[in-house]
Structure 1
C-alpha cells in the first residue's frame, strides 16, 4: 500500500461554517503533484490500495474514513491532541 501525505485541500464553499472538503492533494515520493476527489481517496482507503496522512509537528497523523450521522462518508484525521481540524486547516490546492 502506498502512503501519501495530504498537504492541501479544496472546499466547496471556502467561507462556509459547514465547510466540506471536495479534493485532497500533495506531492508523491518523486515530487510530482497529485490531487484526488474525496470519493477517490475514500475508495482507495477502503480498498487498501492507498493510505493518507497529514504531518503535524513532524508527526504523521493518519487520515481515516468516517461516517456522518446521516450516513455520508468523509475524511478525517485520527483523534489527536491538535487543534484546529488538521484537514480543514490545510492550504488550498492550486
Structure 2
C-alpha cells in the first residue's frame, strides 16, 4: 500500500464548513517529497484498503479515519485518544 500520507490541505464544497463537505485532500508521503491530491472518495478507498493517513501540526500527529454515516457518503475525520477530532478542518484550503 505504500507509505503513510500526511494530509496537508483540504478542499471544501462551495459553502461547506464540516467534515462531510471535504471534497479533496492534498497530501505528502511521509519522509519523501512525493505529493498528490486525492478526492475524498479515493482517500476513503485507500484507507479502507490498508493505507494510513494522518495530520501533523508539528507538535502532535493524529490519525485520519473513515466515518460511515447512516445517510450519505463516507467521509474523513481525525481520531485521537478515542474521540473524533477536527484537525482536518484546521488545515489550509487549496
What residue in structure 2 maps to residue 46 of structure 1?
Answer: 48
Instruction: List structure 1 segments (4+ residues) > 3 angstroms apart after TM superposition.
Output: 15-19
Taking the aligned partners of 1:16 and 1:22, their CA distance within structure 2 comes to: 10
2:13 aligned with 1:12:
yes
* Distance in 2 separating the partners of 1:60 and 1:17: 23
- The alpha carbon displacement at 1:16 in A equals 3.5
Q: Which moved more, 1:62-71 or 1:15-24?
A: 15-24
- With the length of structure 2 as denominator, give the TM-score of the two structures: 0.78
**How far does residue 32 in structure 1 lie from its aligned partner after superposition?**
3.1
TM-score, length-normalised on structure 1?
Answer: 0.78
- The Cα shift of 1:73 comes to 0.7
Unmatched runs of 5 consecutive residues or more in structure 2: none
Aligned length: 89
Q: How does 1:1-94 map to 2 (within 5 A)?
A: 1=1, 2-13=3-14, 15-18=15-18, 20-28=21-29, 29-48=31-50, 50-56=51-57, 58-80=59-81, 85-93=86-94
Structure 1 residue runs of 5 or longer lacking an equivalent are none
Compare the two structures and name the one with the higher helix fraction.
2
